[in-house]
């Protein structure tokens, strides 16, 4: 048994962590003022796999459009997805909308105050539920988001692979031990802040950490190995052709994507089916006669599990362009709905080519 395995992680961390938080924590995040259950919930969902610096502007815009859960529940899907466009991981937005409807229908618009009840809502797991009750209601509940996992894993020198029971179970036990009975709201924010700003994945600033002297990873120089990197598989590459169709008014034809899958529920440029020519696809699928234009330079976009190469194909509509399919719609270029980020890049990158 190594010296590291014989050592034990610190018994308590709340005291030094809270003292650090008072001086160095983040106290002016928009969802903290006011810190309602609705605002905390929206922020926590947005912050899943997304950094604070990216989320802030999206959060503020979302709150302006959907200031309370009743407004969100009553909104149509297009409005919600438009305000999420660019944040990625669109299942989060679909779950957010569905959960809002459930809270209004089943709880009279008031958020449940228990972790168990919150976890019954779409898109809310144990850590997100804990963050909501701790920050919005001051109720004791441990959290284990990505930042808290990294902090606790390094404190205890947990070297197992993330996502496995051998990694998760000891971390939840420690999270429960470390969560104090007082200042629960501050503690929850503090451990997230420490992971985000000091105990970072790369180049952690250990000399600034209030827990440094008791951290087993720091003691044995294990920070680069914790959390252990997941084995990465080579990401497959996919290619798709998208149609940028302009009518005689300069409008762009968009297609609403299915509710599930990539960019589910968003308006996007139509994707050409591989077994049809451009002319046949536009005639039979989009209901328009076209004059093919230039095939423009591709746009690359990386997803978690694959890489996508998008080939934009410019076409000009011939004659009338009346669309009978409700999943297709013409949009003026200055009134486009929220688009998936890569499709917005297609239009921004090649806007000179789309001018009449």
Q: Which residues are known to be catalytic?
A: 44
Of the candidates 146, 148, 153, the one whose C-alpha atom is nearest the C-alpha of residue 217 is 153
Rounded CA separation 150/222 (Å): 12
Rounded CA separation 336/263 (Å): 16
DSSP letters, 127-175, are HHHHHHHHHHH--------HHHHHHHHHHHT--SPTTSHHHHHHHHHHH
Joined together, the tokens standing for residue 308 give 């996508």
Of the candidates 170, 149, 164, 190, the one whose C-alpha atom is nearest the C-alpha of residue 8 is 170
Q: What is the DSSP letter of 236?
A: P
Rounded CA separation 37/102 (Å): 15
**CA angle, 40 as apex, 35 and 43 as ends, to 5°?**
130
Note if the bond before 108 is cis, omega within 30 degrees: no
If one counts every other C-beta atom within 10 angstroms of the C-beta of residue 41, the result is 27
Going from the C-alpha of 76 to that of each of 12, 185, 265, the distances in angstroms are 47, 33, 11
């Amino acid at each position: 048994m190594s010296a590291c395995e014989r050592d034990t992680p610190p018994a308590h961390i709340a005291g030094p962590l809270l003292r650090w938080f008072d001086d160095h924590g983040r106290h002016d995040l928009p969802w903290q003022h006011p810190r309602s259950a609705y605002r905390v919930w929206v922020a926590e969902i947005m912050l899943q796999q997304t950094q604070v610096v990216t989320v802030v502007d999206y959060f503020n815009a979302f709150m302006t459009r959907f200031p309370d859960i009743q407004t969100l529940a009553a909104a149509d899907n297009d409005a919600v997805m438009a305000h999420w466009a660019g944040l990625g991981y669109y299942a989060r937005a679909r779950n957010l909308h569905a959960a809002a409807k459930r809270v209004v229908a089943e709880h009279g618009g008031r958020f449940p105050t228990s972790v168990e009840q919150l976890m019954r809502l779409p898109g809310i797991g144990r850590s997100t539920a804990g963050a909501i009750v701790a920050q919005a209601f001051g109720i004791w509940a441990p959290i284990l988001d990505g930042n808290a996992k990294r902090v606790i894993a390094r404190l205890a020198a947990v070297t197992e692979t993330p996502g496995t029971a051998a990694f998760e179970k000891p971390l939840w036990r420690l999270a429960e031990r470390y969560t104090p009975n007082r200042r629960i709201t501050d503690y929850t924010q503090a451990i997230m802040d420490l992971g985000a700003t000091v105990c970072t994945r790369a180049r952690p600033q250990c000399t600034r950490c209030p827990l440094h002297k008791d951290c087993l990873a720091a003691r044995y120089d294990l920070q680069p190995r914790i959390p252990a990197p997941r084995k990465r598989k080579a990401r497959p590459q996919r290619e798709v052709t998208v149609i940028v169709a302009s009518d005689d008014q300069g409008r762009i034809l968009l297609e609403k994507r299915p509710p599930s899958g990539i960019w589910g529920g968003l308006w996007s440029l139509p994707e050409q089916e591989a077994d049809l020519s451009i002319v046949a696809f536009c005639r039979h699928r989009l209901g328009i006669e076209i004059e093919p234009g230039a095939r423009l330079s591709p746009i690359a976009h990386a997803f978690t599990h694959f890489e996508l190469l998008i080939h934009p194909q410019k076409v000009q509509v011939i004659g009338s362009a009346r669309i009978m399919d409700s999943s297709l719609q013409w949009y003026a270029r200055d009134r486009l709905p929220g688009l998936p980020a890569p499709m917005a890049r297609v239009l921004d990158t090649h806007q000179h080519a789309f001018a009449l």
